[in-house]
Amino acid sequence: MVFVNASAQSIPENQIPGYNFPKVKSSITMPVTIPLSEISNLINASVKDLIYQDDSYTDNNNDQFKVKVWKTRPIRLVGGTEQNILIEVPLKIWAEKGIGTLGVYTYQNTTFETVMSFSTTLHVQNNWTVKTATEPNGFRWMVKPVLEFGRIRVPITGLVEKSLIEQQQKFSKTIDQQLAAQLNFQQYAVIAWNVFSNPFNISEEYKTWLKVTPISVKMTPLKFYGNQLNTNLGIDVYSETFTGNQPASSQPVKTAASFSFVPSASDRFLLQTTANIPFTEATEIARNLFLNKEYEIRGSAVKIKDIKVYGVDNRVMIEADTEGYVNGKAFISGIPIYDESKKKIVLSDTKFNLRTANILQKTATLLFRSRIVKMIENEYGIPTQELENSSKKSIEDAFNKDYYKGLKMRGTVFNLKPGQILMNPYGITAVIDTSASLKLVLSGI
């Protein structure tokens, strides 16, 4: 909610009208973007450079084979074409093989490189846990490993791959563990939920508060764009507008309730803002329109020598002092409503009363009544375009701040117009119905 004053004149702090408006149900989205490079960094940090080592010639049925496998470059993750992650592990392999008989062997070693590949599918469960299934996707040999014993060439691809297949199965489990730990959407949901545990102080000058109470959370399917993982958390909320004292805070949560899956998440945030027009400003508008103007009635003139605007119950009262053919006070009251075509707050259901001592003819009284009431209805109005512009700016200013470290709020106002018009002892309050887009963007968490 935003409290905007139409003029430089402000209401005294202790006289700000207090309103508690009804709850408005709406939605907020929180785009969650996780670069695959960050997940790669986590996996790389958990995987040592030396991945596998076999230092025995005599194990595996006396295979006379030793092997060491290193990670040569960082493990790389890229988005696949079927909602999966492709993982590549570049490896350097040193192998040594013995050839001989009766315990006499000749040994040769070689070093070569290959790329071990995996494919990982992800499924987010509605309790916020992430289930991954990583499967080996073979090797890509640059040059197949061969040992040369003089003129004898001994292929050792089978021996190397046997070891690598065993390690690939173990490595798949490591990848699943690291992905499940990194893709913890529960923490994001809790962060988003607790952002609104405290009401937002939108305007200190006018003691204006916006309280947002989350109701439920929805989530869109995971999608890969380039080298990042995207989803949207859709948060259904009640927004409440308060003026006056700060409303009570909500208790923060430690865990988020289960969510439901939706194809897309709405980001249209509905709220009610207010703009206050003091009667001093309403009087100034009336003075600019009517003061010292003369109006002809049956060949004579009536001049408005003073005018003021104030409130009586739920009606706006315009009190005009007149002189000339009608010498007295005219009282024109009406219920304030918003006229969208004029972009003004105007008076409806107008009533007229006259206090005078010099009305000579009943017909003249009726003519004067008809003339001044019509004049007020047609010409008097409080322009709202400036109020609407000010409200829009105030909302967007409030919705584009970094209230919490690592969590940015971003918002845009789409539609804004006055609806209900309220009276208070100091002026007129326009309740402005607002439709905006409100997003929470995670950054650096």
Let me know if residue 99 belongs to a domain: yes
Residue range(s) defining the domain that contains residue 137: 36-184
Q: Which amino acid type is present at position 26?
A: S
pLDDT classification of 359: cutoffs 50, 70, 90? low
Let me know if residue 146 belongs to a domain: yes
- Phi and psi at 377, nearest 5°, equal -65, -40
Q: What is the secondary structure of 167-186 as a DSSP string?
A: HHHHHHHHHHHHHHHH--HH
Residue 240 three-state SS: strand
- What integer is the mean pLDDT of 180-198? 80
Lowest mean pLDDT among 144-153, 252-261, 273-282, 426-435: 144-153
Q: What's the chain's length in residues?
A: 445
Q: Into how many domains does the chain fold?
A: 1
pLDDT classification of 2: cutoffs 50, 70, 90? very low
Instruction: Determine the pLDDT at residue 311.
Output: 94
Whether the predicted pLDDT of 415 surpasses 80? yes
**Separation between Cα atoms, residue 346 and residue 390, nearest integer Å:** 20
Contacts of 176 (CB under 8 A, 6+ apart): 120, 132, 133, 134
- Phi and psi at 70, nearest 5°, equal -115, 155
Instruction: Determine the pLDDT at residue 3.
Output: 38
CATH number for the domain including 50?
Answer: 3.15.10
pLDDT classification of 357: cutoffs 50, 70, 90? low
Let me know if residue 98 belongs to a domain: yes
Contacts of 164 (CB under 8 A, 6+ apart): 52, 69, 91, 93, 114, 116, 139
pLDDT classification of 337: cutoffs 50, 70, 90? very high
Q: Which residue has the higher pLDDT, 229 or 333?
A: 333
Q: Which amino acid type is present at position 62?
A: N
pLDDT classification of 92: cutoffs 50, 70, 90? confident
Instruction: Determine the pLDDT at residue 7.
Output: 35
Alpha carbon distances (Å) from 436 to 28, 374, 396, 413: 10, 38, 9, 4
Let me know if residue 279 belongs to a domain: no
Lowest mean pLDDT among 75-79, 99-103, 329-333, 437-441: 99-103
Contacts of 353 (CB under 8 A, 6+ apart): 330, 331
Alpha carbon distances (Å) from 25 to 210, 238, 263, 415, 437: 13, 5, 20, 16, 14
Residue 147 three-state SS: strand
Whether the predicted pLDDT of 349 surpasses 80? yes
- Phi and psi at 18, nearest 5°, equal -100, 130
- Share in percent of the chain as helix, strand, coil (round to 5): 20, 50, 25
Percent residues over pLDDT 70 in the chain: 90
Let me know if residue 19 belongs to a domain: no
Instruction: Determine the pLDDT at residue 335.
Output: 95
pTM: 0.65
Percent residues over pLDDT 90 in the chain: 13
Instruction: Determine the pLDDT at residue 18.
Output: 67
Let me know if residue 103 belongs to a domain: yes
Let me know if residue 87 belongs to a domain: yes
* Strand 84-101 relative to strand 76-79, pairing: antiparallel
Instruction: Determine the pLDDT at residue 271.
Output: 80
Instruction: Tell me which residue of 136, 124, 228, 232 sits closest to 183, measured CA to CA.
Output: 124
Let me know if residue 371 belongs to a domain: no
